[in-house]
Amino acid sequence: MTALLEVEDLKVAYGKIEAVKGISFSVEAGQVVTLIGTNGAGKTTTLRTLSGLLKPLSGKITFDGKPLTGVPAHKIVALGLAHSPEGRHIFPRLTIAENLQLGAFLRKDTAGIEKDIQRAYELFPILGERRKQAAGTLSGGEQQMLAMGRALMSQPKLLMLDEPSMGLSPIMMQKIMATIAELKAQGTTILLVEQNAQAALSLADQGHVMEVGKIVLSGTGQDLLHDESVRKAYLGED
């Protein structure tokens, strides 16, 4: 069986500065794969390239059997790749319900959309309670829930989450991670970028460690959790 997402020798540059220097990895359907690493390692750049917001310098991206390179961002969503961006980027002056509806922008099945909005409210009850409120008034953690709920509204084959725990309180972080675990249990395929390596690796089937634009180490989540160099560099042990 071929992988759902296949990335081969991907290079991305901002002007002359190469941020991603030839990385290859794949995501199988049903898996949770995580990219971990410090700031500036190229994780966000990788996700933004996959969703079409950045154009790669070279390399090949194949999603669900189709090449993604050169496809504009707004058409990539239609193929089943949803991206919950770093910093959440909810639409602050639209209501929570409107944000969720925008997540289903390309869908035509009104009844199905309504059902999925209810499902998002079940997954995140706080969103249901505040559905008529402007999204900009939510707390950081609630905005993260909304961003994830919104990404799920497109019924993606692959959900990409960029730093879902960033800037959250420990309790909120646990909640978000528990939700990701729940999504995994439901069979959602997830590509997770995280600075919280401990949490990400505990969830992940596969993990890749990125350093300055390259993948320096790959393995199962458990392997990496117990890898000595990873423990030193990312899990704060010495």
Residues that bind another protein (CB under 8 A): 51-53, 72-75, 77-78, 82-83, 85, 89-94, 98, 101-103, 105-106, 136, 150-151, 154
Closer to another protein by Cβ: residue 7 or 97: 97
Closer to another protein by Cβ: residue 10 or 90: 90
Closer to another protein by Cβ: residue 89 or 232: 89
Q: How far is the CB of 93 from another protein (least distance, A)?
A: 6
User: What burial letters (b/e) apply to 193-208, b meaning 16+ CB within 10 Å?
Assistant: bbbbbebbbebbbbbb
Q: How far is the CB of 4 from another protein (least distance, A)?
A: 19
Q: If 0-12 CB within 10 Å is exposed, 13-18 middle and 19+ buried, where does residue 64 land?
A: middle
Structure tokens belonging to residue 164? 């879902």
Residue with tokens 């497109």: 154
Structure tokens belonging to residue 169? 């309180």
Closer to another protein by Cβ: residue 111 or 171: 111
Q: How many angstroms separate the Cα of 223 from the Cα of each of 24, 30, 47, 208, 219?
A: 19, 19, 24, 11, 6
